[in-house]
Structure 1
Amino acid sequence: MVGRIIILLIIIQAQVVSGQYDYEPVFRNLHGEELKNAVKENYMPQSVLTLTQARDTIYRRVYYYKDSVRCIYTGRAKFLDLNQDPSQYLFDNGGNIDINLEHSYPRSKGADTGNAASDMHALFPSRVDVNSERGSDPYDDIIDSNTIRWYVGVESTSNPDQNRIDVYSEDNNSAFEPRESVKGNVARASFYFYTIYEEQANNADPNYFQSMVETLCEWHNMDPVDSLEWVRNMIIASYQDGKANPFILDCSLVRMYCPELASACQILPTDEVEKFDFYIYPNLVASNEIITIEPNYIAQGTFEILIMDMQGRIINKKTKARHARKIEIAAPQNEGTYILAIRSDATILFSEKIIVY
């Protein structure tokens, strides 16, 4: 078969409706400095990726969703071609609506060297201009009348839509307020960073975290962990000695900073969903060409990869070994349209057309 193979990289998000994940208790019987020391000892990663590696991993493995990477603060989605270097492709020319990496705990406040600089539990994709405008401003709730700039999607405005006010992030040159839906996320990232890298943070600025802590407690309580945040936490942990952000595992862990939030976690309903992520490439293939399936962290377990014709007859199948990071399966020999499906027990997690030419 002669001709150039057009590679179409896709991510399939098979969705199973569920409530929030059960929490994992973290040292429920400890308090104060004893609790903080236990968290440091048990959740500090000894090895992390380099900043360059972490940046690419954040984009491609953690925050890649429906062919794009989204800014934590504005929701701006930028398409990512998985054939390209993720960091270079998203940054492009460094324009205002391009994407770069945000240190939720600023580099000038302690995240500039060592593991603290590239610990992915405190890193997020961000619009270039919003990242720059935030700078090292502390997180805080800003009175609307004091807000100078409002950010959403690709927009920057001084005149926000009052009917959609909660979807904007805000800046007033001395503080930064994220959009409502991610306030808990940045709060838990901040709690994590300060706890794990406390000495480094205090050496840079001993007052910075304390100036935010009351607000962070409120945001943590207001915006609880959803399943997407949980899954991303586990993906990051798989690159960092298996160490998750414990403030995501156990919502009551913030008692070391927020005594009023010491009660045990309650499992709450959520509009988020449990996601099984698979990178499939290519889906336009030559006869007998190899198709690659890369499961993400949450896809660990035993799965069957099926290739079926349009009448549902199985042409080829393969079982994914537990913890395998990549599965390869040959495309059918004959030209035509087929279905590639991933099945667990009797449940089809997702199905997608592939074309053989």
Structure 2
Amino acid sequence: MNTSNRVILILFFYTSLFSQIPSGYYNDAENTSEQELKAALHNIIDNHQTYNYSSTTDILRESDVDPNDQRNVILIYSGESVDAEDDYPGVWNKEHVWPRSRGDFGSSPPEGSDVHNLRACNGSINSSRSNHNFDYCTTGCDNLNGGSSYNNASKIFEPRDEDKGDVARIIFYMDVRYDGSSGELDLEMTEGLLSQSSKAPRHAVRSTLLAWHDLDPVDDFERYRNDVIHDYQGNRNPFIDYPELAHHLWGDKQNQNWSSSLSVSLVREDEIFIPNPIKTEYLNLESDINFSKIELFNMQGKVIRQLSGYVNRIQMPTSSGIYFLNLKYDNKVILKKLIVSSI
């Protein structure tokens, strides 16, 4: 693709709030639940176009492009914007978000070269990530450039806040896409931490990934990336198109049929002003919207405040730190990050 056409596409997709989901793409998953839903989603995204591992570099230059500088790519775990041409052995290389050692699938297609599972990444940070379990790093953590951290002894890696949801949705995709059929691996999430030497096709920690999925909602970068990969591979990440699918498969909606017509719309975060950092006892939401429900989460995904009945004011926690606000009205949700200082 020539540079001028590439820039036009980038501008087009980044000014669109929602992904370009083909009409009828998810029809076979409509009004299904649990294992029937998972099987339907698998069949929808299965049998995609595959590429050899070396050719995926060019796809990543397009899918992970910096919308503010088309010469650069954005690196996962650090958020750095670097020259797209400075790939291995330069600044960035390719990160398998579901590590290839978790199933021992190497770089061969389809598992090893599935671009939905690949992200441009700082080479040094990629090495530190290794094949560690995704979970909160609370003690003995080494901090990395950009905000991610890890504990090599406990084999835990915590991405920076801006990448937590991205990582979760990639892992969800891999769990559904690779189910053991057609001679492929059966990849599954698990709760228990895995040793570094384990080659089992498993990845932890499922409950943490579900929490991260909610705390870091889908953004335009992911939507654009999903569209680009769909153009190449012919399949999509369902959890970017319809985030609530994760809760229908592994969360609190497992016994409910899924329908795209009931999907919750995510509103742009800049529609609500949050005066970070917050140093007052109460937060008054500066908006004309009357919210039907307000939930305040801590970093572990625990609800610590919950209000309903069309309110625009919520009491802040006494402990300083990072929190997430979930604002609901009509059939929409707004998610905001809060920084609370000592009151």
TM-score w.r.t. length of structure 1? 0.59
**Once the 2 structures are TM-superposed, how far is the Cα of residue 251 of structure 1 from its aligned partner?**
1.2
CA distance in 2, matches of 1:268, 1:10: 27
2:190 aligned with 1:189: no
Q: Is the 8 A contact 1:236 1:244 kept in 2?
A: yes
Letter in structure 1 aligned against 2:230: A
- Aligned partner of 2:64: which letter? Y
Find 2:80's aligned residue among 67, 76, 83. 76
Q: Which residue does the alignment assign to 1:90?
A: 87
Q: Distance in 1 between matches of 2:235 and 2:76?
A: 22
Query: In the superposition, relative to structure 1, how do residues 46 and 22 fare at CA in structure 2: closer, same or farther (>3 Å)?
Result: closer
Contact between 1:20 and 1:226, CA under 8 Å: does it hold in 2? no
In structure 2, the residue matched to 1:105 is: 98
Please state how far the C-alpha of 1:33 moved relative to its aligned partner: 1.6
Q: Rate the CA distance shift 1:170–1:219 in 2: closer, same or farther, 3 A.
A: same
* 2:207 aligned with 1:228: no
**Residue 170 (1) aligns with residue 149 (2):** yes
> Which has the higher Rg, Structure 1 or Structure 2?
1
In structure 2, distance between residues paired with 1:245 and 1:40: 10
2:39 maps to a residue whose letter is N
Cα separation, 2, equivalents of 1:140 and 1:212: 6
CA shift, 1:11, in A, is 4.6
- Give the aligned partner of residue 269 of structure 1: 267
SS at match of 1:90: coil
- Alpha carbons 2:137, 2:158 under 8 Å: kept: yes
Instruction: Count matched residues.
Output: 237
The CA deviation string for residues 205-256 of structure 1, in whole angstroms up to 9 with x for no partner, is 55733x311111111111111222112101101111x211111111121121
- Greater relative contact order (CA < 8 Å, ≥ 6 in sequence): 1
Long gaps (5+) in structure 2: 189-197, 271-343
Residue 202 of structure 1 deviates from its aligned partner by 4.6
Contact 1:22 1:267 in 2 (8 A): no
Of the three residues 244, 259, 274, the one matched with 1:252 is 244
Change in CA separation of 1:50 and 1:271 when aligned onto 2, cut-off 3 Å: farther
Tell me the C-alpha RMSD between the 2 structures.
3.1
Deviations 1:128-158 (A, max 9, x none): 1111111110111111x431x21224xxxxx
> Which runs of 5 or more residues in structure 1 are unaligned?
1-6, 81-85, 154-167, 273-357
Distance 2:201 2:11 in 1: 44
Q: Which whole-Å CA distance do the structure 1 matches of 2:133 and 2:109 have between them?
A: 22
- Secondary structure of the 1:152 match is coil
1:145-164, aligned counterparts within 5 Å?
A: 145-147=139-141, 149-153=142-146
The residue type paired with residue 40 of structure 1 is: H
Of 109, 112, 115, 1:120 maps to 115
Q: Which amino acid aligns with 2:82?
A: K
Q: Write out per-residue CA displacement over residues 36-84 of structure 1, whole angstroms, 9 at most, x where no aligned residue.
A: 111111111332111111122112x11122121121110122123xxxx
**Secondary structure, in 3 states, of the residue corresponding to 2:135?**
coil
Distance 2:20 2:48 in 1: 27
Contact 1:20/1:270 (8 A) holds in 2: no
- 1:54–1:120 CA contact under 8 A, matched in 2: yes
Quote the residue 1:64 is aligned against. Answer: 65
Percent identity over the alignment is 27
Could you tell me whether the CA contact under 8 Å between 1:108 and 1:136 is conserved in 2? Answer: yes
Match of 1:140 in 2: 135
Structure 1 SS opposite 2:265 = coil
- The answer as to whether partners of 1:25 and 1:249 remain within 8 angstroms in 2 is no
2:123 maps to amino acid: V
Which residue number corresponds to residue 210 of structure 2? 217
Change (3 A) 1:55 1:18: closer
Residue type matched to 2:144 in 1? Y
